Structure 1
């Protein structure tokens, strides 16, 4: 595929006065920047199958409130502040254009850009504003950009036909806890990106063909749970086809291997405890000790850990005697455990 570089992005809609539902409706008509990581298999939040369901309007059966809605709302509300800090630190002029754009050659490629940058030479760049917590700043280590954000940025540069962009990320509560990353357009990567997006849109979305699950197991299992909904203990037993036999046998073999490793790990833990019982006796009620050996200093800690729990019997009493309090403070979440029993095995 030879890329056409002589184009200007088309305007899909002015987003200034759109409601959130209207904006989401326009988003479902194509692929937005935050969708791309799922298509490329690098989203930490959803599978390609989840994205497919969203685009064709299939709602999850387990339609619980999003657990990270607060983080998303905080990120949205702080975009202007992040842009202001970026401008102050770089001296560059940034400005918003409240419109949704699309690629003229690939109209399914949409872009709703946070801010644009006016460079002194008259050229234009893109600014993508992010927020994260202090413990997640390592994802930006080594001048890198998290891969899901990188794909988002390359998608925007492609739609807008812009060659330069910055990412700005606030991870604390002052302007020094701030990350700035620069990225230039890569046409070779862009070709692959467009090809993957086009295949997803034309072969999956337009033809209503579910994409296969290719992501990490935990993400796939969560996707399946959301799609099918809560477990039904009264549902009929499913007769599994023989194609699953190899998977079952593989699971049982891995389970046996894990049991052996767990047994070895427990033995090692016992030996580790044997190695430090005398040290704990030496510490008494103290939580730390130190031992110096030449230039090496060993700091030993034996700190207490406290956990507040309520036993099952007390929980039942609370439910009977104070149902209003029970309903207010006790929540039930579902998790399912996979198991296999081989009956009639030798």
Structure 2
């Protein structure tokens, strides 16, 4: 875990874990929006008008992304497995600063004591496994590692990943200066424009904006309401009420229709027809991550602990509509002038 000095240091700089969020390369929800974005990073940094806020990374405990607390607790175990497989001894890293760029820092999970190698530990939940092919890293993880290589000067970075609780993999990246320079250039634009410029970065993600507003006004203790008789606010309230009514109706209808198709599928994998496919997908039971965290100190291997707290298997309905066939282009071809 970060020390108070490291937290203060990171409020005045960009760390490795900030990079994929700034670039929009982090893990995404089922709706396609990232878990964290540029505004989430900006609010944690000191600007001319306010100190950075320390966000609670565990305020969204989801099955798609195990809470960061779990990753921190499993780091030592993952590093031990990494050392057993590679014979490379690594020690937990501390926050370090780039030798020439004061606003660039990194907190490696591990640094080899005898080689120019750094190590990143990742705990990947069942619903994020699809983003981890065996031959390449997710773009956000690669960006995070390349940033750490640039800050520490290490020529190689290994990612030790525990996938789905049982599949342990090691990915290797070599330092590439062209990629590193471009990465620094893009992050420098963010730093100068929004942090040094003390300007709130724009976002079209309502979840990200809601998190920002929640943290910005989290200390509000007023007991009286703001009086607002404007027509603009009244229109917004009426529209919100109508949207909530529509959502409740649609959610009920969605469940009813899904249930009808699940009943029709029965024990089959799903249903298919000219309209596409409706799948009722078997899923592994969900892992009770909090129980894993509370048990991890007892000593059994991490994989045994994860399986002990995995729930019963379940199924998830999914609809895949058939793609519309392209219509023939009946317009006259364009002829280039000779």
**TM-score per shorter chain, which class?**
0.5 to 0.7
How far 1:25 sits from its partner (Å)?
A: 0.8
Q: Residue 33 in 1 paired to residue 13 in 2?
A: no
**Alpha-carbon distance between aligned partners in 2 of 1:195 and 1:166, rounded to the nearest angstrom:** 24
TM-score (norm 2): 0.58
Do 2:25 and 2:139's aligned partners in 1 also have CA atoms closer than 8 Å? yes
* 2:70 aligns with one of 52, 57, 74: 74
**Alpha-carbon distance between aligned partners in 1 of 2:122 and 2:261, rounded to the nearest angstrom:** 44
How far 1:265 sits from its partner (Å)?
A: 8.3
Matching residue of 2:97 = 102
* 1:184 aligns with one of 140, 165, 174: 174
Q: 1:233 to 1:272 in 2, by over 3 A?
A: farther
1:170 alignment partner, SS class: strand
**Alpha-carbon distance between aligned partners in 1 of 2:78 and 2:93, rounded to the nearest angstrom:** 17
**Alpha-carbon distance between aligned partners in 1 of 2:125 and 2:57, rounded to the nearest angstrom:** 24
Do 2:123 and 2:163's aligned partners in 1 also have CA atoms closer than 8 Å? yes
Matching residue of 1:161 = 153
**Alpha-carbon distance between aligned partners in 2 of 1:31 and 1:182, rounded to the nearest angstrom:** 23
How far 1:186 sits from its partner (Å)?
A: 3.1
TM-score (norm 1): 0.57
Matching residue of 1:11 = none
How far 1:108 sits from its partner (Å)?
A: 0.7
Aligned ranges 1:1-346 → 2 under 5 Å = 20-43=3-26, 44-56=34-46, 57-59=51-53, 66-68=59-61, 71-91=67-87, 93-96=88-91, 98-117=93-112, 123-171=115-163, 177-214=167-204, 216-229=205-218, 234-237=225-228, 239=230
How far 1:113 sits from its partner (Å)?
A: 1.4
Do 1:134 and 1:172's aligned partners in 2 also have CA atoms closer than 8 Å? yes
**Any gaps of 5 or more consecutive residues in structure 2?**
27-33, 270-278, 281-338
**Alpha-carbon distance between aligned partners in 1 of 2:56 and 2:85, rounded to the nearest angstrom:** 42
**Alpha-carbon distance between aligned partners in 1 of 2:56 and 2:145, rounded to the nearest angstrom:** 30
**Alpha-carbon distance between aligned partners in 2 of 1:150 and 1:104, rounded to the nearest angstrom:** 21
**Alpha-carbon distance between aligned partners in 1 of 2:69 and 2:25, rounded to the nearest angstrom:** 22
How far 1:136 sits from its partner (Å)?
A: 3.0
Structure with more contact order per residue of length (Cα contacts < 8 Å, sep ≥ 6):
1
Do 1:46 and 1:223's aligned partners in 2 also have CA atoms closer than 8 Å? no
**Alpha-carbon distance between aligned partners in 1 of 2:90 and 2:3, rounded to the nearest angstrom:** 22
Do 2:16 and 2:106's aligned partners in 1 also have CA atoms closer than 8 Å? yes
